Structure 1
Amino acid sequence: MTTPYALVVDDHPLMAHGIVEFLLTHCGYDKVQVTKNGKSCLEHIIGFGCPQLMVVDFWLPDGIALNLLRDISNRSPNTLLLVISGDENSLIQQQIRKAGAHGFVHKQDSPHIFFQAVTALQNRKLWFPDDGLQTIAPLVKSTTQTLGLTPRQSQVLEMMLSGSSNKRIALTFGISEATIKEHVGGILSKLGVTNRVEALTLLHGRSLK
């Protein structure tokens, strides 16, 4: 019988090493492997079998992790899928849930939160905390209604508020960066500002009133 192991998919050596050590020390795993992208992850699984737990960076060198999550979810429904990211917006959590992920942890969360997330997954519970997202969602909704933003502009605005670049927004939606620039331009025009900084300052100022 194959010994259950964990697999970390992250191309940042320091981050990956820290996760490996934490899983070995605190989460009950005797074996934790690392791959750097989606392709090498699938090759590893073909050679060594599916892990009990996968910790996957949302942003990988060969693209966002959605296709990888779908593949692993179909290939091994019992594998626990925990996604980590430095981006904080509800859209990413919605997308990874649809792709088969069981949990999400922000890279700025504490080790204790990471431990709680892993423990929840091991107990067959989902971990999708919405702390921090509740402050953005109402702001996006009210701005969308006030300015008459399109559904896509509303999604782009949410990612803008969470600090995502045009390139990352484009990758998330699977469309060109030029198209995202058009959406951003439309949002700025409706807000009556000329750049992102002015837009974010204006909107965050409104949220504090």
Structure 2
Amino acid sequence: MEAQHTIVIADDHPLFRNALFQSVHMAISGANLLEADSLDSLLSLLEKEPDVDLLLLDLKMPGANGMSGLIQLRQQYPELPTVVISASEEEKVIRQVHSHGAFGFIPKSSDMRALISALNQVLDGEPFFPDNISENNQAYRDLADKIATLTPQQYKVLGMLSDGQLNKQIAYDLNVSEATIKAHMTAIFRKLDVKNRTQAVILLQQLDLDE
């Protein structure tokens, strides 16, 4: 590779991040490697680094809420090639990752040779998935599309709602008024086509890999 690639590794496990760093260096000489250990730190990094060539994303980072973290990233950075690297290797998960517009899926169980081969394929512009993935879960995609209409602040409020926080707690943590949170709630319910916070949380949990 002649040009230097800027690659972000987003994973909350230091040991795996370090192993991935070594693999990327072996696959791509001279790569500029950046790292993030949560969704918030990743979003902050991407704001400061507009020229990222590839994002290697773990689905279970703090703040990511399972699959919905990928959806949020695809909404805000649709042009950024995102490859999920996950220990959740079920076909259902891989299919969901594919349907949400990820450029690839690399199982964390991959050995070094397979990992390097997959990275090279992705940087050559070819998506990488373990199997032929069919996009046959229309209901799931419809739900993902609804989640993707939320603004970053609405998404954050929904995540805190899912964690069981009350309006007063959310307002305090986000340093806004309760009236602002109620306005966000109204918009969230309308976009998700639900009537209350319980229904909204259930929808979000349907995207959670821990289900």
Class of the TM-score when normalised by the shorter of the 2 chains: 0.5 to 0.7
Q: Residue 17 of structure 2 aligns with which residue?
A: 16
User: Cα–Cα, structure 1 residues 114 and 171, in superposed 2: closer, same or farther, change >3 Å?
Assistant: farther
- Distance (whole Å) between structure 1 residues aligned to residue 75 and residue 69 of structure 2: 10
User: Cα–Cα, structure 1 residues 82 and 90, in superposed 2: closer, same or farther, change >3 Å?
Assistant: same
- Distance (whole Å) between structure 1 residues aligned to residue 49 and residue 71 of structure 2: 19
Larger Rg: 1
Whether contact under 8 Å (1:4, 1:52) holds in the other structure is yes
Task: Confirm or deny that 1:35 pairs with 2:68.
Answer: no
Whether contact under 8 Å (2:70, 2:100) holds in the other structure is yes
Using the TM superposition, give the Cα deviation of residue 7 of structure 1 relative to its aligned residue in structure 2, in angstroms.
0.2
- Distance (whole Å) between structure 1 residues aligned to residue 124 and residue 112 of structure 2: 18
Is there any run of 5+ residues in structure 1 with no aligned partner, and where?
A: 134-150, 153-169, 181-209
Whether contact under 8 Å (1:83, 1:103) holds in the other structure is yes
Task: Confirm or deny that 1:173 pairs with 2:206.
Answer: yes
Task: Confirm or deny that 1:68 pairs with 2:94.
Answer: no
Q: TM-score, normalised by structure 1?
A: 0.58
Matched residue type, 2:126? K
Q: Give me the CA root mean square deviation.
A: 3.1
User: Cα–Cα, structure 1 residues 116 and 25, in superposed 2: closer, same or farther, change >3 Å?
Assistant: closer
- Distance (whole Å) between structure 2 residues aligned to residue 19 and residue 172 of structure 1: 29
- Distance (whole Å) between structure 2 residues aligned to residue 121 and residue 174 of structure 1: 26
1:13-47 per-residue CA deviation (whole Å, 9 max, x = no partner) reads 01001111221232234310110011110111101
Using the TM superposition, give the Cα deviation of residue 172 of structure 1 relative to its aligned residue in structure 2, in angstroms.
6.3
- Distance (whole Å) between structure 2 residues aligned to residue 18 and residue 89 of structure 1: 23
Whether contact under 8 Å (1:9, 1:35) holds in the other structure is yes
Whether contact under 8 Å (2:8, 2:54) holds in the other structure is yes
Whether contact under 8 Å (1:7, 1:55) holds in the other structure is yes
Q: Residue 54 of structure 1 aligns with which residue?
A: 55
User: Cα–Cα, structure 1 residues 48 and 56, in superposed 2: closer, same or farther, change >3 Å?
Assistant: same
Task: Confirm or deny that 1:122 pairs with 2:120.
Answer: no
User: Cα–Cα, structure 1 residues 104 and 4, in superposed 2: closer, same or farther, change >3 Å?
Assistant: same
Q: TM-score, normalised by structure 2?
A: 0.57
Q: How many residues align?
A: 141
Matched residue type, 2:41? S
User: Cα–Cα, structure 1 residues 71 and 62, in superposed 2: closer, same or farther, change >3 Å?
Assistant: closer
1:155-175 per-residue CA deviation (whole Å, 9 max, x = no partner) reads xxxxxxxxxxxxxxx986247
